[in-house]
Amino acid sequence: MSPIKRNINDALMANARARAASSKKPQPSQPSPSKKLKPLENPQIPSSPNPKSNPLVSEPLESKPKASITDVLMKGSKKPSPSPSKKEKKDETPKLKSKGNVDECVGQLKRKESDFDLKAAAWWGEGERVPFRFLARAFDLIDKESGRIVITSILCNVFRTVIATTPEDLISIVYLAANKIAPSHEGIELGIGDASLIKAMSDSYCRQEKSIKNQLKALGDLGLVAKASRSQQMLRKPDELTVVKVLDTFRAIAKESGKDSQDKKRNHIKGLLIAAIDCEPQYLVRLLQVTTTLHFKKIKRVRHLDTQTHMSNTIFKTKLRIGLAEQTLLAALGQAAVYSEKHSTAPSHIQSPLEEAAKIIKEVYSVLPNYEKIITALLNDGVWKLPETCGFTLGVPVGPMLAKPTKGVSEILDKFQGTEFTCEYKYDGERAQIHYMEDGSVEIYSRNAERNTGKFPDVVMSVERFKKPNVKSFVLDCEVVGYDPEKQKILPFQILSTRARKGVIMSDITVKVCIFAFDILYLNGQSLLQEQLIDRREHLYNSFNEVDAEFKFATAIRSNDLEEIQRFLDTAVNSSCEGLIIKTLKKDATYEPSKRSLNWLKLKKDYMDSIGDSLDLVPIAAFHGRGKRAGVFGAFLLACYDENKEEYQSICKIGTGFSDIMLEERSASLRPKVIPKPKPYYQFADTIDPDVWFEPSEVWEVKAADLSISPVHRAAAGIVDQNKGISLRFPRLLRIREDKSPEQATSSDQVADSWDLDVSWKQPRMIKYQWKKPPARHYKINTDGSLANLGGFDAVTRI
């Protein structure tokens, strides 16, 4: 069992015990018995006498090795009100096998694929759809496992069961297991975050939002909160929810937009939550948790007229967090296909069909990321034909090839010993994959396969200018970079990011861009994925013309000389690039979609030891961790020191670069430094709402890729700009500076100096673009100048 799962589970058990212990405490207005988390609600984690021990895992758990988490939880929450014991019996309806059989069926899934009894795993009858509980139970099984082989095997059995009994539901269950509702380039979003989920849960479970939030802090996972909230009084029919219904509801949620859409979305969610039984709520919530919002605060204050408001929240795509993500799912799907193969047997030259099938599915998916198409083809023609039936399709984004970080030129020479390679500038912009169809239409996709065409009408227009006339179709891999055509200069990423994103029209473009092309994947009806880079590049150079301030080829050299590469890196950085990308030319030089293979390496200054920006900063506050960080601090607020004003100014949060041990050590050593309120000499935005504040006591060395002008952080505020401070791009912990005291931390003046030094080339631009007063509101107008229906996308302009 991995530590991550252990922590979560232990947290639950600890809660159950805490609940039992404090059950005498009356709950004033809240009917649910399951939130007496007082010991954990205290933001000051250090309630335990021994600062080293984590209160969430401090109790030994040998007492209940057998009992499932669910059991523990139910026992805990039942104590106060043992009334609803009817539930076990009422769970059954004549149609369904008994509860015991459900357990038995699910137990089957853990068997080796080889002696797995297909039908025995399914408890739903002929003609019935796959219950969502089947998937939720499988998730629960998987959650308890840590090995990928076992997890793959369980999921494989799930798919086999569905294929054998209810093949029409395979697509739905795969989508749910993948935590998706549609291919990403279709741009369908749930529009649901933690905040909306908490509201829906509050309604469904009759709990105060506040109490849910507190429990979330303690448990570090909204899914676990849902699990703990399940009220025993609610009578639910089992298996009312099918995978199809769940997926359909998700899609319905995504469809809602416009007036009252939030209400409608919430009602959909409530419908699901209320119908959910067993371990369904936990996974429903996790599936809906497409995004995670951290730490927001609701305090009003007067703002400077020219200061925009910003929330200090960070959002991440979440995963199921049970150790199952896309790669494992694809492997499982491939294996299941082999077992269920009716159409053909594996070609004889294949020794290990299971591995081979997994590989095929992964490859096919990277080239055609569409489960509908793949599964349909899979069921119709089988795995072995998949490469033919589901190949690369013009207009569908290919997973872009990624690069591996490297620490220095010597490491590169080491890895690419004896092979020919090339070094290219790594531009600081947005990855773009441009598809040009035979009919002259253009589509642009982002790194994450989002359809970005509407964001870059200027790029769409310039295609006809930069492609040679004989080119009929292509797929280009390139970087879109902010560009000043007058000065012929690259603009920093922060400026590029101010571009509008949807429904942009030419006349309204504020930030011009230039394309830097570095690869071509498809040309005149032919896929070039299998070609070596040296040949693809030839095609690239032959098929396009550089157009001033619109289209250029990425600067590249061919060299095996350490010194020369080192110098090239320097020129790249001086030319406003992040660093270099290094690629082999002839050997292993095919385009490997979305695979982080050895073939491409990236080299940035800040990856290298003893070079790049590093600052010594003071942790002044912290946030409770989530998921595998539950029980320790997950992130800290750092500050630099202003000697003149004698104050600490926030500069960034930090949550990466810690080993598990270090994180625990830091949490332990800072707990005694917790203070009830921030010091008066702490400068920070009121949108930052940490869980605990600290006495200034430690100094940490932190590395960053870049400095940025910040709307939230206060470092060097007033020096570089009147109202804005400075923050760090990609901050990560290097080490603890035991030798320094907080007053010896990096000073605000030093931060300001680094800004001048580091971005002298971009500073004038920054002022021109960044601080131009942005009229906050946009209105949609039709091309004839009249106001458009607010729901439309025809045109956007500025008043």
Catalytic residues: 426
Q: Which of residues 256 and 550 has its CB atom nearest to DNA in the complex?
A: 256
Query: In angstroms, what CA-CA distances link 386 with 13, 365, 382, 527?
Result: 46, 10, 7, 17
Stretch that binds DNA, among 166-174, 481-489, 564-572, 776-784 (CB under 7 A): 776-784
Both tokens assigned to 684: 């920070």
Q: Does residue number 527 form part of the binding site for DNA (CB under 7 A)? A: no
Q: How far apart are CA 76 and CA 229, in angstroms?
A: 12
**Residue 459 three-state SS:** helix
Q: Does residue number 197 form part of the binding site for DNA (CB under 7 A)? A: yes
Restricted to residues 38-97, the positions that interact with DNA (CB under 7 A) are none
Q: Does residue number 300 form part of the binding site for DNA (CB under 7 A)? A: yes
Shortest Cβ 346–DNA spacing (Å): 18
Candidates 43, 80, 408, 657; binder of DNA (CB under 7 A) is 657
Which amino acid, one-letter code, is at 372?
E
Alpha helices in 325-367 (DSSP H): 326-339, 353-367
Q: Give the count of beta carbons closer than 10 Å to the beta carbon of residue 720.
A: 22
Candidates 95, 112, 298, 773; binder of DNA (CB under 7 A) is 298
What is the per-residue DSSP string for 652-664?
Answer: EEE-SS--HHHHH
All residues at 6 or more sequence positions from 418 whose CB lies less than 8 Å from its CB, including other chains: none
Shortest Cβ 235–DNA spacing (Å): 29
Q: Does residue number 493 form part of the binding site for DNA (CB under 7 A)? A: yes
Of 422, 402, 757, residue with least CA distance to 564: 422
Q: How far apart are CA 339 and CA 354, in angstroms?
A: 9
Q: Does residue number 440 form part of the binding site for DNA (CB under 7 A)? A: no
Shortest Cβ 48–DNA spacing (Å): 20
Q: Which of residues 105 and 581 has its CB atom nearest to DNA in the complex?
A: 581
What number of residues does the chain have? 799
Restricted to residues 323-362, the positions that interact with DNA (CB under 7 A) are 323-329, 362
What is the per-residue DSSP string for 173-211?
Answer: HHHHHTT-SS-GGG-------HHHHHHHHHHHHT--HHH
Q: Does residue number 660 form part of the binding site for DNA (CB under 7 A)? A: yes
Q: Does residue number 322 form part of the binding site for DNA (CB under 7 A)? A: yes
Q: Which of residues 114 and 656 has its CB atom nearest to DNA in the complex?
A: 656
Of 657, 668, 582, residue with least CA distance to 622: 668
Q: Does residue number 494 form part of the binding site for DNA (CB under 7 A)? A: yes
Candidates 447, 587, 605, 679; binder of DNA (CB under 7 A) is 447
Stretch that binds DNA, among 83-91, 322-330, 538-546, 670-678 (CB under 7 A): 322-330
> Phi and psi of 482, rounded to 5°?
-60, 140
Of 419, 729, 706, residue with least CA distance to 582: 419
Q: Does residue number 3 form part of the binding site for DNA (CB under 7 A)? A: yes
Restricted to residues 711-730, the positions that interact with DNA (CB under 7 A) are 711-713, 727-730
Element (DSSP H or E) covering residue 527: strand 526-527
Alpha helices in 99-178 (DSSP H): 99-108, 132-144, 148-165, 170-177
Of 774, 772, 769, residue with least CA distance to 489: 769
Q: Does residue number 658 form part of the binding site for DNA (CB under 7 A)? A: yes
Q: Which of residues 102 and 615 has its CB atom nearest to DNA in the complex?
A: 615
Stretch that binds DNA, among 70-78, 237-245, 312-320, 512-520 (CB under 7 A): 312-320
Stretch that binds DNA, among 92-100, 241-249, 428-436, 529-537 (CB under 7 A): 428-436
Candidates 699, 709, 716, 720; binder of DNA (CB under 7 A) is 709
Restricted to residues 240-269, the positions that interact with DNA (CB under 7 A) are 257-263
Restricted to residues 396-415, the positions that interact with DNA (CB under 7 A) are 405
Candidates 351, 777, 783, 784; binder of DNA (CB under 7 A) is 777
Count the helices and strands in the chain (H runs, E runs).
26, 26
For residue 699, give the DSSP letter. Answer: -
Q: Which of residues 165 and 419 has its CB atom nearest to DNA in the complex?
A: 419
Restricted to residues 624-643, the positions that interact with DNA (CB under 7 A) are 625-629, 634-635
Strand partners, 404: 601
Stretch that binds DNA, among 20-28, 57-65, 525-533, 706-714 (CB under 7 A): 706-714
Candidates 448, 542, 566, 782; binder of DNA (CB under 7 A) is 448
Stretch that binds DNA, among 27-35, 82-90, 289-297, 519-527 (CB under 7 A): 289-297
Q: How far apart are CA 151 and CA 391, in angstroms?
A: 28
Shortest Cβ 198–DNA spacing (Å): 8
Q: Which of residues 204 and 770 has its CB atom nearest to DNA in the complex?
A: 770
Q: How far apart are CA 676 and CA 299, in angstroms?
A: 18
Strand partners, 603: 406, 580
**Residue 742 three-state SS:** helix
Q: Does residue number 735 form part of the binding site for DNA (CB under 7 A)? A: no
Strand partners, 623: 635
Candidates 169, 430, 691, 698; binder of DNA (CB under 7 A) is 430
Using CB under 7 A, count the residues that bind DNA.
Answer: 123
Strand partners, 649: 640, 683
Q: Are 318 and 142 in contact (CB under 8 A)?
A: no
Both tokens assigned to 423: 């070094």
Shortest Cβ 1–DNA spacing (Å): 7
Sign of CA dihedral 335, 339, 340, 346: positive
Q: How far apart are CA 430 and CA 440, in angstroms?
A: 23
Q: Which of residues 33 and 579 has its CB atom nearest to DNA in the complex?
A: 579
Q: Are 554 and 577 in contact (CB under 8 A)?
A: no
As a 3-state breakdown, the chain gives helix, strand, coil percent values, each rounded to 5, of: 40, 20, 45
Candidates 27, 47, 101, 314; binder of DNA (CB under 7 A) is 314
Candidates 210, 255, 343, 501; binder of DNA (CB under 7 A) is 501
**Residue 729 three-state SS:** strand
Q: Which of residues 1 and 461 has its CB atom nearest to DNA in the complex?
A: 1
Residue with tokens 């058990």: 13
Q: Which of residues 238 and 429 has its CB atom nearest to DNA in the complex?
A: 429
Strand partners, 263: none
Restricted to residues 565-604, the positions that interact with DNA (CB under 7 A) are 578, 595-598, 604
Shortest Cβ 783–DNA spacing (Å): 17
Shortest Cβ 399–DNA spacing (Å): 11
Shortest Cβ 636–DNA spacing (Å): 8
Q: Which of residues 278 and 428 has its CB atom nearest to DNA in the complex?
A: 428
Candidates 25, 303, 558, 772; binder of DNA (CB under 7 A) is 303
Q: Which of residues 71 and 209 has its CB atom nearest to DNA in the complex?
A: 209
Shortest Cβ 359–DNA spacing (Å): 9
Stretch that binds DNA, among 165-173, 274-282, 311-319, 746-754 (CB under 7 A): 311-319
Shortest Cβ 233–DNA spacing (Å): 28
- Cα 789 → chain centroid: 34
Residue with tokens 């297909």: 118
